[in-house]
Amino acid sequence: MTTTTEQGTEGVLVIKVTTTEADYRPEVEKNLRELRRKANMPGFRPGMVPAGVINKMYGKGVRAEQAYRKAHEAVGEYLEENKIEIVADVMPSDTQGELSFEPDVTEHEFVFEVAPAPVVDVTLDGKDKLTHYKITPSKEMVEAYAKSLEATVEDETERTKQATERAEADLERESDWFDEVQLKNLLLAKANVKLPEEFLRRWLVAVNEGKFSAEEVERDFAPFLRMMSWGLIQRSLMEKLEMKIEPAEVETEARAMAAMQFAQYGMRDVPAETLDGFAKSILADREQAQRVAERVAERKVLEAMKPLAKVSEKKVTVEEFGKIVGEAQQQ
């Protein structure tokens, strides 16, 4: 088996792997023996179908499968040996010629494409500006919060005081969230990550075959590029800052997420054991646990970047803040 490479367009790497029968013969023979053992055909006892019949029926497909598997593994080994990180995944090339897996054809050239991840080196400094908005709660907002406290706080003055504090705390969280949006925008603009867009379009269509059309992929392509670019920036900064995600940090984040879910229903003083139980149920789900870990990583990176930027404060009303966020999201 031999592996060669050549440069494609957009920085894409074309990897050609040539396999011979000797590379996959043991696997083919093993698969055919297993098929023979399980074969149940009229005129033959179970497991006693002649090997020649099994080979004639299934040999071509088995050879194709094992030859491709060996070639694909060779690409992975090449990338690992040469320490090449990629975006997306290994993809069969559009230039792949038709292959024959008849018994007399013993050599096959497979053509793959990969997109090496671009090198990202970015940080923030005093030239990068961020505005932290101090949002003043509206009278209507305070009144709404006060109504939710009527059953527990009898004194009107105290009730208004607590309602105002809760409204301000919730609005401060909104402002903190928008700080993160601004920081990500600053880093994305400054890094200006160049991705192989045509390769990624083809990859998205291929992996979503039967689920999304090329038109649907195109509609969501810009957010996809932004997500991939941010992932590369985040990974680069974590490596530069030698950041690691500790299990305790993930557990704390899961508890915070659980508390926020309860708060959406007006339940703010939830017992610690209840939050722990919900946090455990979140982390028991692999996909949710992964999202929580990713959120921790993103937050740590942004917290490290924020002090490097020039941060100013500005007082705004709820309506003004909503308009600012809306304009930012349209950019």
Q: What is the pLDDT of residues 36-64, one digit of tens each?
A: 988 888 888 888 888 888 889 999 999 99
Q: Tell me the average pLDDT across 214-234.
A: 93
Q: Is 101's pLDDT higher than 90?
A: yes
Tokens of 237: 């900064």
Distance in angstroms (rounded) separating the CA atoms of residues 175 and 13: 43
Helix axes 156-191, 286-305, angle to 10 degrees: 80
Which pLDDT score, from 0 to 100, does residue 41 have?
84
**Predicted TM-score of the model (pTM):** 0.84
The DSSP-derived string for 240-290 is HTT----HHHHHHHHHHHHHHHHHTTT-----HHHHHHHHHHHHHSHHHHH
pLDDT of residue 320: 96
Q: What is the pLDDT of residue 237?
A: 96
Domains annotated on the chain, with CATH? 2-116 (3.30.70.1050), 129-330 (1.10.3120)
Q: What is the pLDDT of residue 31?
A: 93
Placement of tokens 């304009």 in the chain: 327
Tell me if residue 88 falls in helix, strand or coil: strand
Dist. CA 331–CA 327, nearest whole Å: 7
Tens digit of each residue's pLDDT (9 = 90 or more) over 180-211? 999 999 999 999 999 999 999 999 998 888 78
Residues 6+ apart with CB under 8 A from 254: 279, 280, 282, 283, 289, 292
- Pick from 23, 109, 104, 103: which is nearest to 59 by CA? 103
Question: What is the pLDDT at residue 265?
Answer: 73
pLDDT confidence of residue 211: 86
- Looking at residue 331, its pLDDT comes to 64
Q: Which pLDDT tens digit goes with each residue over 59-89?
A: 999 999 999 999 999 999 999 999 999 999 9
Q: Using CA atoms in the order 166, 311, 187, 119, what is the torsion angle rounded to 10 degrees?
A: -120
Distance CA 28, CA 30 (A): 5
Query: Is residue 33 pLDDT above 70, yes or no?
Result: yes
Q: Write down the pLDDT at residue 264.
A: 76
DSSP state of 93: -
Evaluate if residue 141 carries a pLDDT over 90.
yes
Res 269 pLDDT > 90: no
